[in-house]
Amino acid sequence: MEKLRKHIEEIIPISDDEFESIKPFFTIRKVLKNQYLIQQGDEAKYEYIIMSGIFRVFYLDEDGKEHIVQFATENWWMSDYIAYFNQKQANMYVVCMQPGEVLCLTLDGREKLSDTLHKMEHFFRIKLTKGFIALQQRVISLLSNNPQQRYEEFADLYPNLMQKIPKKYIAEYLGISRETLSRLYSNNK
């Protein structure tokens, strides 16, 4: 829980009493490699903040092809947000790629926490805004950058993930073939 406090205090200051009132809204869950937190058709009950591990958020198209929307690691938030905020069935999958631990927050808990502690409403707004900006930058990159530019951007933004995520998933995330990624990787050593 101290990691959670540090994470919150990167945006807002909180007192010991305030943190004590925040803690009950979060539940801790250990996650094994290849374990799913969300699968298509599930109720997306939680938003997750990652304490440790690496996760992949993806959807499957009609042909069963996987499309990675997000990788997530320590201090990142993830869920199937369409399902979470609209309280609908999930269309996405969230799977653990390296064993880890997450904190789970329900939408009801998020709303109550925002109502009872206005600082947390500000915190969630900032986190949501940063997430929206990152998503928009990703879409623009996919639409306008060539494979080399997408690769370099990913390597610059997430150098630690380059060594921890299998190349096939990085290629999928970048929208390129495994062979193209290997060539780009070799050219950038």
pLDDT reported for residue 110: 96
pLDDT reported for residue 181: 87
Which residues contact residue 89 at a Cβ distance below 8 angstroms, ignoring those fewer than 6 apart?
40, 41, 42, 43, 44, 83
pLDDT reported for residue 129: 94
User: Do 12 and 123 contact (CB within 8 A), yes or no?
Assistant: yes
pLDDT reported for residue 94: 97
Please say whether the dihedral angle defined by the alpha carbons of residues 63, 69, 73 and 74, taken in this order, is positive or negative.
negative
Q: What percent of the chain has pLDDT over 90?
A: 85
pLDDT reported for residue 187: 76
pLDDT reported for residue 162: 86
pLDDT reported for residue 189: 63
pLDDT reported for residue 182: 86
The structure's pTM equals: 0.90
Both structure tokens of 88: 């609908």
* Stretches in the chain below the pLDDT threshold 50: none
Question: Cα–Cα distance between 34 and 99 in angstroms, integer?
Answer: 8
pLDDT reported for residue 84: 97
Could you report the per-residue pLDDT of 98-153, keeping only the tens digit for each?
999 999 999 999 999 999 999 999 999 999 999 999 999 999 999 999 999 999 99
